[in-house]
């Protein structure tokens, strides 16, 4: 509702697997260009492409690699020439990118890739694969930056996962803007208050618990607590926001209008939330109606909350939820 005018903001820097922006870096000289990432998310994100397999010196065309369990360790080996191992080069090349990784606010990786996949990458035990691995470059990235929003391009086809990733990117960016201004307890408390309803839409119990921990932590230096707060915040946001949780938040927000709406407006809003609960309307409908009423009846807490506008409307992420 009171989200920043992102159209006037610099684009948010996101790391990305090079093949997804159309660079012909795959083993066969092809690419996996993703138009949604480039055209839609690209309105607000700028991309830093990187291909770890090219960076460690593998050419085009090249033998494919795979993850395999060898001596109880997951290794990246040649698919045909299994004596070739790329484990340490892939991990080392990830470590060497730490300086620019630190400047990112999110990362989009190629699914199923033994170097870049985020989850469910095939790991072979002999000739039998199980989808239980993580690409070695991405595993190192996530170990170094555990709170960085990371997502696979394939999972961005799921409306809930797509909205969750983009929302985490914007929140992560706001967190770093808070740090840049100079972190203090007042700033952290305000940051939490503005994101509290978003947290409740993901998990109300954990959101309330984080609020209590924040309130009880003021006796220690804020810098000592900040990393713990961010880790818990991002972990809550990784939990898929359920429709029932959104309904609870919407009804909570509606309570701020109970003295301002006439009977017909109340009925319309109630029906809108109920139809969303039943799956007959997308989330954007009750949210748009609430925005309308709060423009006519401003309420400072709701005005400052990011729940009613967690990201730019142009991305239309709430239209499919």
pLDDT higher than threshold 80 for residue 1: no
Q: Are residues 205 and 172 in the same domain?
A: yes
Q: Are residues 41 and 172 in the same domain?
A: no
Of 183, 203, 238, the residue at which a domain comes to its end is 238
Say what the pLDDT of residue 65 is: 95
**The tokens of 267 are what?**
């009925």
Half-sphere exposure (Cβ direction) of 77: Cα atoms closer than 13 Å:
18
pLDDT higher than threshold 60 for residue 5: no
Q: Are residues 153 and 164 in the same domain?
A: no
For residue range 212-249, what is the model confidence (pLDDT) as tens digits?
999 999 999 999 999 999 999 999 999 999 999 999 99
DSSP label of 305 = -
**The tokens of 68 are what?**
């395999």
Q: Are residues 88 and 134 in the same domain?
A: yes
Q: Are residues 126 and 55 in the same domain?
A: yes
Contact 68, 82 (CB under 8 A): yes
Give the span between the Cα atoms of 138 and 150, in whole angstroms: 9
Q: Are residues 99 and 62 in the same domain?
A: yes
Say what the pLDDT of residue 3 is: 46
Give the span between the Cα atoms of 210 and 224, in whole angstroms: 16
From the list 68, 69, 155, the residue with the least C-alpha distance to 118 is 155
Output the average pLDDT for the chain: 94
Say what the pLDDT of residue 2 is: 47
Q: Are residues 95 and 207 in the same domain?
A: no
Give the span between the Cα atoms of 178 and 187, in whole angstroms: 7
Q: Are residues 21 and 139 in the same domain?
A: yes
Q: Are residues 97 and 22 in the same domain?
A: yes
Beta partners for residue 69, in sequence order: 74
Q: Which residues contact 54 (CB under 8 A, 6 or more apart)?
A: 18, 25, 60
Question: pTM for the full model?
Answer: 0.94
Of 157, 174, 200, the residue at which a domain comes to its end is 157
Count up the domains in the chain and report the number: 3
Of 157, 183, 201, the residue at which a domain comes to its end is 157
pLDDT-derived band at 27, boundaries 50, 70, 90: confident
Q: Are residues 192 and 264 in the same domain?
A: no
**Residue 221 backbone class (left: φ over 0; alpha: ψ -120 to 50; beta: rest):** beta
Question: What is the number of other CB atoms lying within 10 angstroms of the CB of residue 184?
Answer: 12
Q: Are residues 11 and 139 in the same domain?
A: yes
pLDDT-derived band at 9, boundaries 50, 70, 90: confident
Q: Are residues 282 and 209 in the same domain?
A: no
For residue range 114-146, what is the model confidence (pLDDT) as tens digits?
999 999 999 999 889 999 999 999 999 999 999
R_g of the chain computed on alpha carbons: 22
Which range of residues forms the domain containing residue 284? 243-314
pLDDT-derived band at 28, boundaries 50, 70, 90: confident
């Amino acid at each position: 509702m009171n989200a920043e005018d992102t159209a006037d903001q610099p684009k948010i820097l996101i790391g990305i697997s090079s093949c997804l922006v159309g660079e012909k870096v795959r083993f066969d000289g092809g690419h996996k260009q993703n138009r949604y990432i480039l055209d839609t998310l690209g309105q607000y994100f700028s991309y830093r492409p990187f291909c770890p397999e090219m960076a460690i010196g593998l050419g085009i065309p090249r033998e494919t690699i795979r993850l395999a369990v060898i001596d109880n360790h997951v290794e990246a080996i040649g698919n045909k020439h299994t004596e070739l191992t790329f484990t340490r080069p892939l991990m080392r090349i990830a470590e060497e990118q730490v300086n620019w990784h630190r400047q990112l606010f999110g990362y989009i990786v190629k699914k199923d890739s033994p170097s870049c996949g985020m989850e469910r990458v095939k790991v072979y035990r002999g000739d039998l694969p199980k989808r239980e691995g993580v690409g070695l470059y991405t595993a190192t990235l996530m170990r170094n930056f555990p709170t960085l929003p990371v997502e696979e391009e394939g999972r961005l086809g799921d409306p809930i996962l797509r909205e969750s990733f983009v929302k985490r990117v914007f929140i992560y960016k706001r967190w770093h803007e808070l740090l840049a201004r100079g972190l203090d307890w007042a700033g952290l408390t305000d940051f939490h208050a503005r994101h509290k309803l978003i947290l409740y839409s993901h998990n109300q119990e954990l959101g309330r618990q984080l609020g209590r921990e924040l309130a009880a932590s003021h006796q220690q230096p804020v810098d000592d607590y900040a990393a713990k707060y961010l880790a818990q915040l991002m972990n809550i946001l990784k939990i898929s926001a359920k429709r029932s949780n959104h309904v609870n938040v919407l009804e909570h927000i509606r309570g701020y209008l109970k003295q301002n709406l006439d009977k017909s407006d109340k009925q319309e809003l109630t029906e809108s939330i109920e139809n969303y609960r039943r799956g007959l309307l997308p989330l954007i409908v009750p949210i748009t109606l609430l925005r309308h009423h709060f423009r006519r009846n401003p309420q400072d807490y709701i005005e400052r909350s990011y729940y009613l506008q967690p990201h730019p409307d142009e991305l239309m992420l709430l239209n499919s939820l």
